[in-house]
Amino acid sequence: MAVADELARRFPRVAVVHEWLTIPGGSEKVVTAILALLPHAELFTTVYDPAPWPPVITGRPVHASILDRLPGATRHYRYLLPLMDAAFRRFDLSGFDLVISSNHASAKNVTVRPGTPHVCYCHTPMRYAWDESLLAGEAIGPLPAPVAAALAAWLRRVDRKRSSGPDVYVANSTFVAERIREAYDRDSRVIHPPVAIANLLEAPRAPSEAYLVFGRLVPYKRADVAIAACERLGRRLVVAGSGRDLERLRAIASPRVEFLGEVPDADVPEVMSRARALLFPGLEDFGMVPVEAQAAGAPVIAYGAGGVRDSVFDGRTGVLYEPGSVGALCDAIVRFEGLSFDERALRGNASRFAPERFAEAFGELLLGLTDPPEPADNLASR
């Protein structure tokens, strides 16, 4: 019997809870992979914009919270963060046999009836509670420092209190598993998120002289460090992606830096396969882009902290460097240029994160939550 069929038999009603469904990103890829295992599941979220989502989401019941009724909620959802704990607590999940929360803020805070398994796939403990600079600067707008500090302290108290709710924590990386232990004093099992690599694995490798930065252009991803390092060394750089940091990055770049803008999905394999190497100077909880680059045969030069330590092996599939400064990245680039890399090893390493690996591991975890129900004929013979 297929895993999905067995899960449906053991858990006839399943609730999948996610923070918000507005703009597709890495955490939403995990949600869609979970829903593929649980096609009968219902979705619960704070704010829901159906426009950008595939049928795996729109083709099932999606329950949005009371916050979804507020004007502009789908655009300004992060401003609603202090209200999300209460919004999630209002959901009635008493009729469900299994609850899975996809959490990087408050989704795990839902109320679950005693005896119902609650599995939390934790992308990270709430960033806005544990990183005050993110709360004040990027998440919900510029707040006076004392207000931001007080709000972060309150969010930490609530986050830590609600952390006792889930029965099982799943972390997306060993880095996040350590953060869960530090923030919540809870153990977790690491199951890496699924990365769509099939098309990338088939892309012929044709490296150019240019390094690559790929992804959303937002300050914490530190594309400015990559630009400064390439300018200092006189190396060519391609920046692929868009975001609110784009104009600032253009202002500090010379004509040596090429900005591609948003890259269509069909063009991603070629862009990745042509990179001399991917530069990844930000701190990420996991980081799907380094896996995608390796699947296309491109090595990765990354700041050696965070989730990237699960996907990049120094000297074998890329170069890891510390600290996260421009000078350290320059040194890493120079070191990289003196090494050679096996394309097959790069692609083989990326294959560890294929969607089927996630489905196998997460399905196994869910099946391990309960004993299989006895066949009806055994029960009738008693």
Which domains, and CATH codes, for the chain? 3-125+163-194+356-380 (3.40.50), 198-352 (3.40.50.2000)
Per-residue confidence (pLDDT) for residue 152, from 0 to 100: 82
Per-residue confidence (pLDDT) for residue 143, from 0 to 100: 62
Is residue 321 within 8 A of residue 328, CB to CB? The reply is yes
Per-residue confidence (pLDDT) for residue 218, from 0 to 100: 87
Pairing status of strand 257-261 against strand 300-303: unpaired
Amino acid at 137: G
Per-residue confidence (pLDDT) for residue 345, from 0 to 100: 97
Helices (H), the chain: 3-10, 26-37, 55-58, 81-89, 127-130, 132-134, 145-162, 174-184, 198-201, 223-233, 246-252, 268-273, 288-295, 326-336, 343-350, 355-367, 376-380
Nearest alpha carbon to residue 273 among 248, 291, 298, 250: 298
Q: Which residues, in sequence order, are bridge partners of residue 190?
A: 171
Q: From CA 315, how far away is CA 294, in angstroms rounded?
A: 13
Inter-axis angle of helices 145-162 and 174-184, nearest 10:
90
In tens digits, the chain (382 residues) has pLDDT values of 589 999 999 999 999 999 999 988 889 999 999 999 999 999 999 999 999 999 999 999 999 999 999 999 998 888 899 999 999 999 999 999 999 999 999 999 999 999 999 999 999 999 878 876 555 444 455 566 677 778 888 899 999 999 999 999 999 999 999 999 999 999 999 999 999 999 999 999 999 999 999 998 989 899 999 999 999 999 999 999 998 899 999 999 999 999 999 999 999 999 999 999 999 999 999 999 999 999 999 999 999 999 999 999 999 999 999 999 999 999 999 999 999 999 999 999 999 999 999 999 999 999 999 876 555 454 444 4
Q: Which residues, in sequence order, are bridge partners of residue 279?
A: 301
Angle at 25 between CA 289 and CA 64, to 5 degrees: 165
Q: From CA 290, how far away is CA 281, in angstroms rounded?
A: 11
Q: From CA 12, how far away is CA 352, in angstroms rounded?
A: 31
Is residue 120 within 8 A of residue 202, CB to CB? The reply is no
Q: How many helices (H) and strands (E) does the chain have?
A: 17, 13
Q: From CA 161, how far away is CA 45, in angstroms rounded?
A: 20
Q: From CA 367, how far away is CA 98, in angstroms rounded?
A: 11
Per-residue confidence (pLDDT) for residue 380, from 0 to 100: 43
